[in-house]
Amino acid sequence: MSDLKPRYDLAVIGAGPAGLAAATLAAQRGLSTVLLDEQRAPGGQIYRAVTQTPVKNPSVLGSDYWHGADLVGPFRDSGADYAPGSTVWSVSRSLDIGLSRDGAARVLPARHIILATGAIERPFPIPGWTLPGVMGAGAAQILLKTSGLVASGNVVLAGTGPLLWLLAWQYLRAGARIDVILDTTPRENWRQAMPHMGAFARSGYVAKGLKLLLEVRRKVKVIGNVTSLKAEGDGRVQSVLYRQGDGAEQRLPADTLLLHHGVIPNINLANATGCAQNWDEAQRCWVPTVDAWGATSVEGVSIAGDGAGIGGALAAEHRGRLAALDALHRLGVLDRATRDRDAAPHREALDKAQRGREFLDTLYSPAKDFRVPQDETIVCRCEEVTAKQVRDAVKLGVSGPNQTKSFLRCGMGPCQGRLCGPTVVEVIADARGVSPAEVGYYRLRPPVKPITLAELASLPKAEDEIAAVMHH
Amino acid sequence: MFQRLPNASGERVSFTIDGRAAEALSGDSVAAALIANGVQTCRATPVSGAPRAPYCMMGVCFDCLVTIDDVGNQQGCLVRVRPGMRVETQNGKREIER
């Protein structure tokens, strides 16, 4: 761990593929660069624990995972400073970064900032999703990567999306058991995805994806066209209730239920910084508005990787390099022509990596019933607010998520809307009969992660600041 | 319920959960260490007292809040387990003195 300098040309926040690639390129080109990351080791979530996983058999996690090591090596040699275990709770328009490390807070100024905060799992609100034993499939994958832990007993996977199938494949490779996969991919998605099949067929994902799907389907019972899900249990999950199509409700025993229906950008820091954002209808989520270099509406702040719209891990690293080249240009190191020339191979690689994305987005778009839950379902896990309470608030005239905060405390718990925001937006939009674009999103404010008064008190103070308080 | 893969290797770390001796691997987060030791619930919510356990494992959901070495409301998934660490499950709100 390196000691931090008083200021940097470039600060990159998040050590996944986008952040690692951006920091590496910038430092190689001579910018004083720091990479700040909340985790203790580089890799982000996709390459989580790639330098230290206890899962040593490379065929369990697969070659795409081990590609992460190709990013960490050059980063370590790049000369960039690295600050793991750093929680960034604020980025100001004047490019000051508020962060906490080891229980002490500080403010770090930079000339340019690249947010590489990646993706989070799309909230999957079903009745009983707060019960112990119900987790995100991504959470189970993190337990596998970091600790070599796999679910045991009756294990049920439910939902849709590439990560669900990848986790199933990795579990089988590891020798773990999966009872059933409840596939919630809506039937009509196939028809809608077909026009995008051509581009997908020319991408690098087809052969790999098909092989993986076939291997999982050969070994695990897959129940398709699942239209409702419910977790039940006394103190923890004990069974899963599901419906196939219009069929009767069925019950399965479950000690662990792993839910997944896609990932969405982690936008909290960008939103709190004041970066403009827009509703992405194809990916059904709010995304920060960026140009082809990842530049946001806030001067000096760019976003690289999935945090600016889901593109996947390979796209993320190229987006990181493009954002770094643009930072070099903005800081006066590269002229425009050089930036554009040097960007050409990365842009070409990005186009290739993004080929077929429309097909995946359309095929794995989650069904409305799972985005807009029934009345009894808890929407806000922190404050335990149900979908019915949100609907009742709409009847009283609430038109957007910021008002649900004052009516219901919805979104005001410690997760700061990360686990309820997307659902609250969908429920309000549905109840009002308008697009989520019209409903908006939470207006988030720093600190975007809770910090203690002791941490705040540890911020260095100037003489005049102390004097201002002492003499009043 | 989770179990460790038989060939998962690593240094053993001794710590305590609610005063009981427990063991983890050195790369484990506190949340992973609790799960590896069969802990089913790591807190009760301040709103209704409902039991909760880690949900996201990546610092997003705050359901893995625990007390670590007398400091309450720590995100167990973001703290690495250390030898001698005292982890306590949490009941309701963070207590005033910790």
Q: Which residues of B touch A415 (CB under 8 A)?
A: 60-62
Q: Which residues of B touch A417 (CB under 8 A)?
A: none
CATH number of B13-91: 3.10.20.440
Q: Which residues of A touch B77 (CB under 8 A)?
A: 142
Mean pLDDT within A348-362: 95
Considering only CB atoms, B25 lies closest to which of A54, A130, A174, namely A54
Least confident of A191-200, B27-36, B53-62, B88-97: B88-97
Residue A181 and residue A221: Cα distance in Å, rounded?
6
Q: Answer for the pair A161, A260: CB distance below 8 angstroms, yes or no.
A: yes
Q: Answer for the pair A175, A218: CB distance below 8 angstroms, yes or no.
A: no
pLDDT of A2 > 70? The answer is: no
pLDDT of A329 > 60? The answer is: yes
Instruction: Identify the pLDDT of residue B96.
Output: 63
Beta-carbon separation of B41 and A132 below 8 A: yes
Percent of chain A with pLDDT over 70: 99
Q: Answer for the pair A264, A311: CB distance below 8 angstroms, yes or no.
A: no
pLDDT of A457 > 90? The answer is: no
Task: Examine the predicted complex and report whether its ipTM is higher than 0.90.
Answer: yes
Instruction: Identify the pLDDT of residue A363.
Output: 96
pLDDT of A28 > 60? The answer is: yes
Domain ranges of chain B: 13-91
Q: Which residues of B touch A39 (CB under 8 A)?
A: 78
Considering only CB atoms, B60 lies closest to which of A120, A150, A151, namely A120
> In terms of Cα–Cα distance, which of A153, A114, A157 is closest to A138?
A157
Residue A115 and residue A285: Cα distance in Å, rounded?
18
Label residue A471 by pLDDT band (50, 70, 90): low
Mean pLDDT within A142-171: 98
Beta-carbon separation of A236 and B40 below 8 A: yes
pLDDT of B97 > 70? The answer is: no
pLDDT of A464 > 90? The answer is: no
Q: Answer for the pair A346, A314: CB distance below 8 angstroms, yes or no.
A: no
Beta-carbon separation of B57 and A54 below 8 A: no
pLDDT of A78 > 60? The answer is: yes
pLDDT of A469 > 80? The answer is: no
Mean pLDDT within B7-28: 95
Name the minimum distance, in Å, from the CA of B87 to any CA of chain A. 17
Mean pLDDT within A364-378: 97
Number of H helices, E strands in chain B: 1, 9
pLDDT of A472 > 70? The answer is: no
Residue among B9, B39, B40, B58 with most chain A CBs within 10 A, to mutate:
B58
Question: Using one digit for the tens of pLDDT, what is the confidence trace for A85-129?
Answer: 999 999 999 999 999 998 889 999 999 999 999 999 999 999 999
Residue B31 and residue B79: Cα distance in Å, rounded?
8
Beta-carbon separation of A139 and B7 below 8 A: no
DSSP secondary structure string, A252-288? EE-SEEEEEE-EEE--HHHHHHT--EEEETTTTEEEE
CA nearest A135 in B: which residue?
B55
Q: Which residues of B touch A143 (CB under 8 A)?
A: 2, 32, 35, 57
Considering only CB atoms, B4 lies closest to which of A40, A149, A418, namely A149
pLDDT of A1 > 50? The answer is: no
